[in-house]
Amino acid sequence: MAKASPTLEFDTDWEYSSAPESTDHIQIKPQNELFINGDFVVPSDGNYFDTINPASEKTLSKVGHATADDVDKAVKAARKAVKGPWSKMDGAERGKYIFRIARLIQEKAREFAVIESMDGGKPIRESRDVDIPLVSAHFFYYAGWADKLEYAFPGKDTTPIGVAGQIIPWNFPLLMAAWKIAPALATGNAVVLKPAETTPLTALKLAEVLQEADLPPGVVNIITGAGKTGQAIVDHPDVDKIAFTGSTEVGKMIMRAVAGTGKRYTLELGGKAANIIFEDAPIDQAVEGIVNSIFFNQGHVCCAGSRLFVQESIADTIISKLKDRMETLIIGDPLDKNTDIGAINSKMQLDKIKMYVKLGQKEGGTIHQSSYSLPKKGFWYAPTLFTDVSQSHRVVQEEIFGPVLAIQTFRTVDEVITKANNIPYGLSGGVWTDKGSKIFKISKAVRAGVVWANTFNKFDPSSPFGGYKESGMGREGGLEGLMPYVNLV
């Protein structure tokens, strides 16, 4: 059990008693098939792969490996569904299905949250209080649009674009499925969705919910596999649109693959957000904000505030308070309700984080890490700060996707704007100040899809999300999130 900091003045030798969330009510099937045309079907080559719990390295379940043939079956089922009554159905009727899905997710929220934490490593507090409530909120939100598309696009009629291939990552598994499926259904499309290979279980549970909601067969197909399966979706000639969230590298490959095919696409890729703290900011809230911006979900967040810019006059205070706060973060069992920092999603991701921290040290950066010991089994990384780094360092320029913060200082507003924008990414940013004028200046000048002011990592289904530059194209969420799924006539 992790101990709270012995360095804080008020802290005597106290420990938290563990408070693990029960897994008694959870059912994880030992083997999962592919969800195609409303049924669970055996993959065409009969192959399965394991998904593990990254906190224990134990296998949770076997999951079907979808081949190009299976992708073809799923796309055919989706095409049949769009040609059938689904896309011509009255919007209000379509909305009823989506409302039903939203309610069923709410009813099973605890089960979804526990499975999400077991399969991906994120703390139960986050999956329970952030991920799953946002999932049902997204379905509720887009259910509401289904019969109001004429108001979303005044003076225009909309038609669905057809079959959407959707490929999602492992950092917010069910939430990314919701971001993609809900607007597609509201606008009358059919879907072939592929979850990430390390976190397929909640998407497969969602497939059970879709059955229970009586969604017509083929409207949503959920198939599992790794990059090759994703590529087969991208390359399939009868897919009309690709929606992808993941690495910039794969995003670029997808752009190349769809170029000239007429397929539409939206890409939500990497980030390296600037979190900017001015000397007039509320210091303690800002420290909490920094913790939330980079240590939330082990830093597996594309919009994480991985670059911190502190005004020079308060840098020492902020860094010392941050170090104290890092000592009190509890790292360990994702299912323990006390846990702040869970497991790193995979061995591969852990190796990438370690590689970057070594590199940052080699480049001359100074590191500080929380002092507690990490669990022996599983994939873990202690919260880490880098100081003595500058704009040219790779740990400042490149996405690490782990609990690693690069800290720099600044003196003037213009200087910090230049530094914040000196990056190939533009997904998000943050600004902490007492002064409204600075908030307006920064949020306009920082080229990023979202800039939070005196807060960080806040999401709402009505708010569009997406990037500039190498962070991607297109928006998800809000009214804007309907646009990629309709033809306007």
Which residues are tagged catalytic? 268, 302
Nearest approach, Cβ of residue 5 and ligand NAI (Å): 30
CB-based contact 266:298 (threshold 8 Å) = no
- Shorter beta-carbon distance to ligand NAI: residue 60 or 176: 176
Window 408-447: residues binding Mg ion (CB under 5 A): none
Interface residues with ligand NAI (CB under 6 A)?
Answer: 167-171, 194, 196-197, 226-227, 230-231, 234, 245-247, 250, 253, 268-270, 302, 349, 352, 399, 401
Asked if residue 248 binds Mg ion (CB under 5 A), the reply is no
Minimum CB–partner distance for residue 23 and ligand NAI (Å): 26
- Interacting partner of 196 out of Mg ion, ligand NAI, none (Cβ under 5 to 8 A depending on kind): ligand NAI
Task: State yes or no: residue 51 binds Mg ion (CB under 5 A).
Answer: yes
The residue type of 77 is: A
| Distance in Å, CB of 269 to ligand NAI, minimum | 5
- Taking the complex as a whole, the smallest distance from the CB of residue 287 to ligand NAI amounts, in Å, to 25
Q: Which does 119 bind (CB under 5 to 8 A by kind): Mg ion, ligand NAI, none?
A: Mg ion
Instruction: Report in angstroms how near the CB of residue 281 gets to ligand NAI at its nearest.
Output: 28
Q: Strand 58-64 relative to strand 31-32: parallel, antiparallel, unpaired? A: parallel
Could you say whether residue 127 binds Mg ion (CB under 5 A)?
Answer: no
Kindly tell me which of 62 and 148 has the beta carbon lying closer to ligand NAI: 62
Site string for Mg ion, 93-122 (x = CB under 5 A): --------------------------x---
Identify the CA nearest to 333 among candidates 9, 20, 15.
20
Nearer to ligand NAI among residue 117 and residue 158 (C-beta): 117
Q: Which residues pair with 368 in a beta bridge?
A: 385
For the bound state, the minimum distance from the C-beta of residue 106 to ligand NAI, rounded and expressed in Å, comes to 25
Tell me which residue has tokens 């159905």. Answer: 89
- The smaller minimum CB distance to ligand NAI, of residues 274 and 302, is found at 302
Of the two residues 198 and 293, which places its CB atom closer to Mg ion in the complex?
A: 198
Rg (CA), the chain: 22
When CB distances are held under 5 to 8 angstroms depending on the partner's kind, the choice from Mg ion, ligand NAI, none that residue 226 binds is: ligand NAI
The 10 Å Cβ neighbour count of residue 216 is 17
Tell me which of Mg ion, ligand NAI, none is bound by residue 51, counting a contact when its beta carbon lies within the kind-specific cut-off of 5 to 8 angstroms: Mg ion
Q: Which residues contact 306 (CB under 8 A, 6 or more apart)?
A: 271, 272, 273, 294, 299, 399, 400, 404, 405, 406
Q: Please pick, from the candidates 198, 298, 370, 457, the single residue that binds Mg ion as defined by CB under 5 A.
A: 198
**Whole-number minimum distance, CB 120 to Mg ion, in Å?**
6
Of 488, 487, 489, 477, the C-alpha closest to 183 is: 477
269 interface partner picked from ligand NAI, Mg ion, none, CB below 5 to 8 A per type: ligand NAI
Q: Which is nearer to Mg ion, 57 or 90 (CB)?
A: 57
Does 197 engage in binding with Mg ion (CB under 5 A)? no
Q: Which of Mg ion, ligand NAI, none does 234 bind, CB closer than 5 to 8 A by kind?
A: ligand NAI
In the sheet with 58-64, reading across from the earlier edge strand, the strands are 31-32, 58-64, 48-53
Q: Is 171 in the site for Mg ion (CB under 5 A)?
A: no
Three-state helix/strand/coil letters over 276-315: EECCCCCHHHHHHHHHHHHHHHHHCCCCCCCEEEEEHHHH
343 binds, options Mg ion, ligand NAI, none, Cβ within 5 to 8 A by partner type: none
Pick between residue 119 and residue 336 the one whose CB is nearest to Mg ion. Answer: 119
Residue ranges that bind Mg ion, judged by CB under 5 A: 51, 119, 198
